[in-house]
Every structure is written in structure tokens, then in C-alpha cells.
Copies of this chain bind each other. A is one copy, B any other.
Amino acid sequence: MATTVDPQQATENNHHLVKSDDSKHPANLIPALCRKFWTLGWVSGTGGGASIRDNDLVYLAPSGVSKELMEPSNIYVLSMSAQRDPKKRIYLRSPPHLKPSQCTPLFMAAFTKRNASCCIHTHSQWAVLVTLLLESQSPSSRLFEINNIEQIKGFGKGFGKQGNLGYHDTLRIPVIENTPHEEDLTEYLEEAMEQYPDTYAVLVRRHGVYVWGDTVDKAKAQAESLDYLFQLAVQMRKLGLPWVSNIEQVGPS
């Protein structure tokens, strides 16, 4: 499915890059995923987004459109190899009358530093509330931790590692502070990736979360599992239940 394009064509509108009858083509998958994300409250009010990398090509949702109404013709296409300077991104395909997403450099970080194939950004309220609850404990708290919940097994052990986390493992998701301009988050995101090399997600304070995966299916599954855990964590807090526990205390005798 990998299509290579001469970056010199970048000024032209390579519509063929987003035209396919294959429902698994990134230009068809992104709108389908975003329709689903809208029903989950992840991309309300044009917030959030998603990007898929297919070998050298990166497919991106545009900025400021109703994500559940997006169409393949709205998709941007970048070339990985053509990215010499992140400040000078070369778009192989740019939809008319639209703006590229401010999330682009953050998606690119997941592709270049973690070799991800898909990165999802949500404004899920559960993610935002988790960052607010951490902040209320300590303004400088930078880590969400939860353990002994089955859904944790929905996450891979980490970049380049085989297998998934276990039930007793503690899932750790770093939190970075939000910035006025989303592009400025990139530095913080990359720092968090360095500090937590095994994480597949980074929370953004009072903003949302970025989640990625080795495949589109894994990115989607990890995004769903993480939102499940964020929602559960908020409910647990309302009920006075701790996020981290020593299960030995409660195991069968």
C-alpha cells in the first residue's frame, strides 16, 4: 500500500493519495475512527484527532473540522523521509480551504521516536479529570499510576518489547503541562518519552491524552483501554477507592 511520491510534487494536490476503495486505507480509516471517537466524546467541538503512518507516508486529520463528519478528501499527507526540518513540513497532499492540525509534530514524534503506525489524540474528559485530580494532590505531580485492574493487560510492555503488561503490573502514564500553542507540547512530549521509554501514552494537563501503537488496531485498543481506566479512576476517586493497591492484601487465602 506504500506509495512513494516525489516531494517536488508537494505543491500539487495528490488526490490519488487519499482515494481508495479499501476500507483499511488510512484515508478511509481516519474518518471511520473519528466518527467512532466522536460518539465516545473524545473529539467534541473539533478537538482531538488521529494520524496513521503507512511506511513513508503520514495521513493526518485536518484542524478545526467536525471530526465525525470528516471525509477522505479532508486528509493531509506528509512524507516521513521528506521531513528535513519539522518547521518546514512538506505536505504531499493538502486539502483546499483547510488548515493542518497543530497536533502534527506530536503525531510525528510517536512515528519517528517510537516507530508507531498510528497516534490518537483525545480531549476525553476522563483524561482531563485525571490530570486535575493529580494536580489537586500536588501541583507538580507528573504521573498517573494504577494497578491490579484487568484492563491494564490491554497495554504492551513497551517500545520494542514483546507481550503485554500483567494484571499485577502498575501502568504508569506521564503527565506533561499544557502550553498555549499545541506545537510547543512537542518538546515536553519527547522528554516524557525519554523519561518513560515504555509508555504508549502521554497525558496533557487540563487538555487530554496522546496514545499510539505499533499498529492501528493496537493504537485504537490502547486508547480505549486507557480511557476505560481514566473513567474508572475518576469513579474510584468519587467512591474513595485508591488507584494503587497491594493486591496481596486482598488475594484469596
Residues of A within 8 A of B (CB): 41, 44-47, 64-66, 123, 125, 128-129, 132-133, 135-136, 139-140, 148-151, 154, 166-168, 176-180, 188, 204-208, 217, 220-228, 231-232, 234-241, 247, 249-253
A160 to chain B, nearest CB (A): 19
B45 and A241 form a contact (CB under 8 A): no
- A239 near B228 with CB under 8 A, answer no
Distance to closest chain B CB from A62 (angstroms): 12
Query: Can you sample 12 A-B contacts with CB below 8 Å?
Result: A46-B224, A47-B154, A129-B232, A129-B236, A132-B239, A135-B250, A149-B207, A167-B180, A168-B180, A205-B250, A206-B247, A237-B239
Cβ B232 vs Cβ A125 within 8 A: yes
Contacting residues, chain B, for A132 (C-beta < 8 A): 236, 239, 241
Q: In the complex, what's the smallest C-beta–C-beta distance from A200 to chain B, in angstroms?
A: 12
A203 to chain B, nearest CB (A): 12
Assembly of this chain: how many copies? 4
Q: How far is A174 from B224 in the complex, measured between Cα atoms in Å?
A: 28
Structural contact, B151 and A166, CB atoms closer than 8 A: no
Given contacts A47-B225, A132-B236, A139-B250, 9 further A-B contacts (CB under 8 A): A41-B228, A64-B221, A125-B228, A125-B232, A136-B241, A150-B206, A150-B208, A177-B252, A238-B239
Minimal beta-carbon separation of A69 from chain B (angstroms)? 9
A128 interface neighbour in B179, B232, B238, Cβ under 8 Å = B232
Q: Which residues of B contact A239 (CB under 8 A)?
A: 129, 132-133, 136, 234, 237-238
